[in-house]
Amino acid sequence: MTDALRWDGVVCDNVTAHVLELHLANPRPFLDDYGSDAENEAIDRSKLRGKINPSLLKLTHLSYLNLSQNGFGGIPILDFIGSVESLRHLDLSKAGFGGLVPNQLGNLSSLEYLNLRADIEDNLYVTDLQWLSGLSLIEHLDLSDVDLAQASNWLQVLNTLPFLKILYLSGCQLPQVPPPIHLNLSSLAILDLSLNDIENSLGGSIFHGLVNMTSLRHLDLSNNLFNSSIPESLYSLDSLQFLNLGSNKFRGKLSSAIGNMTSAIDLDLSDNELEGPIPITMGNLCNLKSIVFSGCVSNQLDKLDLSGCHLSGQLTNQLRNFKSLKELHLSRNSVSGPIPISIAELSSLRVLELDQNQLKGQLPRSINELTNLEIHDISTNLLEGVVSETHIGNLPKLKVFQASKNSFVLRVSPDWIPPFELELLGLRSWNVGLMFPLWLHSQKHLRDLDISGSRITDSIPDWLWNFSSPFQYLNLSHNQIHGQIPGIPWAMSVDSVVDLSFNLLSGPLPQISPNVFF
């Protein structure tokens, strides 16, 4: 037995040398559709096969057994495993077992973890779940894709397990059963009932029981047949972090009570029949990182504001679902990756705020198709590349273009006259060329201009002060601008700011308007 102390996957007691744990899961379980034939064959060869030897019963101190992700070829789970009474952890998931799950597993009274998750082709099934009641200490139970269609007592038995914290019953063909008077699953932290075609009769009982599930963090009810409005009891789960109600028939409007789910990180409400606006109380969900809509809600959505909500990940083509969107606010998040080309399909968009994220790549030319765009803010990102007329030359309604703190290069024709009249323009940290961009001369209503750190070596042109509206903010700092400072107009805006620092200016300082605050 001393040799066993050195075997891979075998854990023994250092003093008694008793075998305590067998870690015999396939170390390379996942076939890669893109892998070579040789690689896939090697992975397949690494799976355990054959029969389990009854000598396993001699390991009277065995507390942990993991045979997951192997290839036992459809043989049944052997009855004698139910006699290894010392087991606390049993994982037979996706190991290739088939047929009837033996009732003898109910003898494992010390079991805290049981995972029988199957592959559909294994045809693993249960006709009666009464044996589960013998597992009074069970905390983690996974029967996903095990056929429970004949187990009419499944809910009553689960209701007797006081320590159950994690329950996966995805794709189990759960039968519609009369619910118990009191659903006592208050210890649950994770509940997955997806892919079961559950209807309203059973669903009503589940939703009623949610009121007591105050520890619930993860709830997946996707791919069922719920056809009511979203029950108010769901919105009371203020500890819930992950909620998936996708691919059902939920209808009606989202309640403003959704703002009570302040722990929410991931919400999926896609492929339902919801309608109406998204409640403004969703602004309370400051931990939210992912939200998925589609269907009626997205078609009618006018404004989506998820600024400062700790969102991460990339913008996807799902944005095209929001056909009526006029305002999209995603500022102050951690959104990464490129701006998708499909954003051009949001043809009604007037406000696009993507500032203070981690967006990378180039500005897509498709932005030029958003002809209703009035406010475009992509400042403080990691964007780069050339910006020309083909990116912004077809935006006649544009009033605000804030793109500072990126690594863009401005490259437009010397005689270009934009179709828009800007009021705010931010090009800080761009490469705009050695000269002041001549097209600025056409922007008569510009009151806020930041072209600091943009590599200008020109002198300040007189026309810079000749706009119809006086500057509220002008920042030309951190360039190599030379020559004298032209006379700053006396009629500056009240509390205006002018920053000409870190340049090569010389000569006398002109008289400053008392309206200049800084």
User: Tell me: the pLDDT tens digits for 303-324?
Assistant: 887 787 777 788 888 777 777 8
pLDDT band at 65 (very low <50, low <70, confident <90, very high): very high
pLDDT band at 297 (very low <50, low <70, confident <90, very high): low
Q: Find, among 440, 406, 449, the residue nearest to 421 by Cα.
A: 440
> Cβ of 455: how many Cβ atoms within 10 Å?
15
What pLDDT is stored for residue 66 in this prediction?
95
Single-letter amino acid, residue 383: L
CA angle 289/305/359 to nearest 5° reads: 60
Positions of E strands within 264-411: 266-268, 273-274, 290-292, 303-305, 312-314, 327-329, 334-337, 351-353, 358-361, 375-377, 382-387, 400-402, 407-410
Residue 217: pLDDT above 50? Answer: yes
pLDDT band at 44 (very low <50, low <70, confident <90, very high): low
Residue 510: pLDDT above 90? Answer: no
Residue 295: pLDDT above 80? Answer: no
What whole-number distance in Å separates Cα of residue 115 and Cα of residue 154?
16
0.75 cut: is pTM over it? no
Stronger pLDDT, 269 or 301, i.e. the higher one: 269
Residue 100: pLDDT above 80? Answer: yes
Instruction: Give the pLDDT mean for 226-248.
Output: 91
Stronger pLDDT, 176 or 353, i.e. the higher one: 353
Please answer whether residues 371 and 398 qualify as being in contact, where contact means their C-beta atoms are separated by less than 8 angstroms. no
Average pLDDT, the chain: 88
What does the block give as tokens for 68? 């997951």
Residue with tokens 């750190």: 453
Q: Find, among 82, 66, 77, 78, the residue nearest to 11 by Cα.
A: 66
What whole-number distance in Å separates Cα of residue 122 and Cα of residue 145?
9
Instruction: Give the pLDDT mean for 453-457.
Output: 97
Instruction: Give the pLDDT mean for 499-505.
Output: 95
Range with the lowest mean pLDDT among 96-105, 173-182, 339-348?
173-182
Residue 35: pLDDT above 60? Answer: no
Residue 4: pLDDT above 70? Answer: no
Residue 39: pLDDT above 70? Answer: no
Residue 33: pLDDT above 60? Answer: no
The burial of 342, by beta-carbon neighbours within 10 Å (0-12 exposed, 13-18 middle, 19 or more buried), is given as middle
Range with the lowest mean pLDDT among 10-24, 151-165, 297-311?
297-311
What pLDDT is stored for residue 87 in this prediction?
96
Instruction: Give the pLDDT mean for 87-96.
Output: 96
